[in-house]
Amino acid sequence: MLNLEVIGQKIANLRKQKDMTQQELADSLYVSRQAISKWERGEGLPSIEILSDLTKLFEVSIDYILDSSDILENDYQTMMQQYPRESVIYKYLNSSNLNEDFKSIFYLLKQEERKKMIDLFLSRNLNVDILHMWPYLNQGERSYMLYNIRSKKIDVDNKELCAMMNDEERIIFQNCYVIHKGKEKRK
Amino acid sequence: MKKDIIKLIPFLSKQDLMTVANEILEGKIINVDMVVIYPFLQRSDLEELVDKLIEKNESELISKAIPFISKEKVLEVYNAANAGKLNDFDISVCIPFLDKDQVMRIFMDLTKSNE
């Protein structure tokens, strides 16, 4: 994904260096002033043909305009600012670094999106280690997780997870764990 | 029927979702917008679907899939559109979803063909 704000800022700087207004640049490229304004705000990108015209007009290389314009694979904050949220979440869900990237995206999510992410984990459709998730969950989400770990029989590393919990959570978890294990033994 | 399918989408298995997508594509399920299924499909399934959409010249459905597919697949769509295989496809929607190197290559190709 390209960082549209970085490219937009470069176009704006080059225009100002040429002492041109947005309208003058628009006229020379045969586009509307609104299109220039949109590009400079990072809300869109010129076509390849117009990028080519821009390099000629400003006498710069395409490399200069696109330099530092790749968004880092785990820079979900920038992606969320510039691209549809749904597509950014989808990108995360299809990432090969689910554990590592969890902390980079989870805090950016709205409440209902966080809930969906937790439900995906509980339905085993999100392959993230709970130890990576736990520190980023709020109180309510932790309680929700604890009760569901039991009912959905999610396998967890109880020692390491317990070490991350407060006393109250540990009691709930251990009760759930004992009940769950007890039922298994009876079977 | 339409509402029922849309409500069920989050609970369908990956396999069932693909079946629904294919049936929409074949016209067996009507009045359900294919786009609502995209976020629930696995990327490999969505990209397989995009291949079928390219074959069927479904430009609008393809452009709505662009934010969800890999940059490699976006480039394939761009090339298909550039080769005239997609009617009324706005090629510029692809560019932000490519990476710098891919855009550079397209730019160089354009420069060469203009020379």
The residue out of A13, A43, A66 marking a domain boundary is: A66
Same domain, B59 and B106: yes
Q: Each residue of B32-81: pLDDT tens digit?
A: 889 999 999 999 999 999 999 999 999 999 999 999 999 999 999 999 99
Q: What is the DSSP string of A57-91?
A: HHT--HHHHHTT-BPPTT-HHHHHHHS-HHHHHHH
Total residue count of chain B as it appears in this document: 115
**Confidence at A7, pLDDT banded by 50, 70, 90:** very high
Q: Mind listing the pLDDT tens digit for each residue in A41-99? A: 999 999 999 999 999 999 999 999 999 999 999 999 999 999 999 999 999 999 999 99
Comparing C-alpha atoms, which of A136, A140, A145 is closest to residue A107? A136
Q: How many domains does chain A have?
A: 2
B→A contacts (Cβ < 8 Å), by residue, are 38-39, 42-43, 67-68, 71, 91-92, 95-100, 103-104, 106-107, 110-111, 114
Q: Residue A155: what pLDDT?
A: 73
**How many CA within 13 A on the CB side of residue B105?**
7
Whether A90 is covered by a domain: the verdict is: no
Burial label, A71 (beta-carbon count in 10 A; 0-12, 13-18, 19+): buried
- Classify residue A178: in a domain, yes or no: yes
Sign of the alpha-carbon dihedral angle for B26, B28, B31, B34: negative
Stated pTM of the model: 0.85
State the best of B17, B70, B95, B102 to mutate against chain A, taking most chain A CBs within 10 Å: B95
Q: Residue B64: what pLDDT?
A: 95
Using DSSP's 3-state secondary structure scheme, residue A125 falls into coil
Residue A159 falls within a domain, yes or no? yes
Quote the ipTM score: 0.85
For B92, the closest of A47, A82, A89 (CB atoms) is: A47
Same domain for B28 and B6?
Answer: yes
Which pLDDT value is given to residue A135?
93
The answer to whether residue A89 is domain-embedded is no
Q: pLDDT, tens digit, for every residue of A99-137?
A: 999 999 999 999 999 999 999 998 888 999 999 999 999
pLDDT in tens, A149-182: 877 777 777 778 888 888 888 887 777 665 555 5
Is residue A82 one of the residues assigned to a domain? no
d(CA B21, CA B64): 14
CB distance B62 to B93 below 8 Å: no
A52 and A117 part of one domain: no
Give B4-31 pLDDT, tens digit per residue: 777 888 788 888 999 999 999 998 888 8
Number of domains in chain B: 2
Domain stop point among A66, A89, A120: A66
To the nearest whole angstrom, how far is the Cα of B44 from the nearest Cα of chain A?
10
What is the CB neighbour count within 10 angstroms for residue A80?
Answer: 16
Residues B25 and B46 in one domain: no
Give the closest residue to B18 by CA, choosing from B4, B7, B3, B29: B29
Q: Which domain does A166 fall in, by range? A: 110-186
B20 lies in which domain range?
1-41
Q: Are residues B37 and B50 in the same domain?
A: no
List the one residue out of A104, A153, A92, A162 whose CA is nearest residue A134.
Answer: A162
Is it the case that residue B3 has pLDDT exceeding 80?
no
pLDDT at A22 over 80: yes
Q: Are residues B94 and B114 in the same domain?
A: yes
Mark whether B28 and B78 lie in a shared domain.
no
Tell me, yes or no, whether B27 and B72 share the same domain: no
